Amino acid sequence: MHSVILKDMRSLSLTVLLILNLVVFSPRSGNAQSSAGTVTPMEISADLGTCSALIAVTGIDLKPIYGAKITTRVRYGLMGVKRIDLEAYTGVDGQLKITNLPGALKKPMYIYINKDDKQEIVEFKPDVHCHATFNVQLR
């Protein structure tokens, strides 16, 4: 009786593992593959709110710049004494999205965009535009 229960448990656990493998490792079909050419921007999260800033970086020729370094310091909390530094790079589409930013800031938030010897700075004002898009042309 005891061995029958163990056999049943083993076969059940093997079946569950097989199903999990199929779910986790099977190729995905859906929007990601059907929308060829569409690339979702790289993302980094501040985990502080619901606002976001999408930065699209292009060169003088208006082509996306891959690997542009984007840094910012988010000051939050009482009198803006708490801070978090974020740093990430643009993807192949030249874009980076900073998500979950606070809706109100005590001090200005500047986003620095660098590539080689070129730099641009934009100011994010969540109280003016919570979901902002910045088109930055590095010169």
The pLDDT tens digits of the residues spanning 40-61 come to: 889 999 999 999 999 999 999 9
CA separation for the pair 94, 27 (Å, rounded)? 27
Which of 23-27, 48-52, 67-71 is predicted with the least confidence, judged by mean pLDDT? 23-27
Checking if the pLDDT of 20 tops 50, the result is no
pLDDT score, position 37? 62
**Max CA-CA distance within the chain?**
78
Q: Give the start-to-end residue ranges of the domains of the chain.
A: 2-33, 39-137
Are the C-beta atoms of 124 and 133 separated by less than 8 Å?
Answer: no
Helices assigned H by DSSP within the chain: 2-25, 31-34
The CATH number of domain 39-137 is 2.60.40.1120: yes
Q: Are strands 131-137 and 51-58 parallel, antiparallel or unpaired?
A: parallel
pTM above 0.75, yes or no: no
Q: What is the mean pLDDT of residues 4-19?
A: 53
Nearest to 94 by CA among 50, 131, 138, 132: 138
pLDDT above 70 as % of the chain = 73
CA separation for the pair 133, 113 (Å, rounded)? 14
CA dihedral over 75, 127, 44, 48, signed as positive or negative = positive
Checking if the pLDDT of 21 tops 50, the result is no
pLDDT score, position 107? 84
pLDDT score, position 27? 47
CA separation for the pair 64, 111 (Å, rounded)? 18
pLDDT score, position 26? 46
pLDDT score, position 88? 97
DSSP string computed for 74-89 = EEESGGG-EEEEEEEE
Alpha-carbon distance values, 136 to 17, 51, 71, 73 (Å): 48, 19, 14, 19
Checking if the pLDDT of 11 tops 80, the result is no
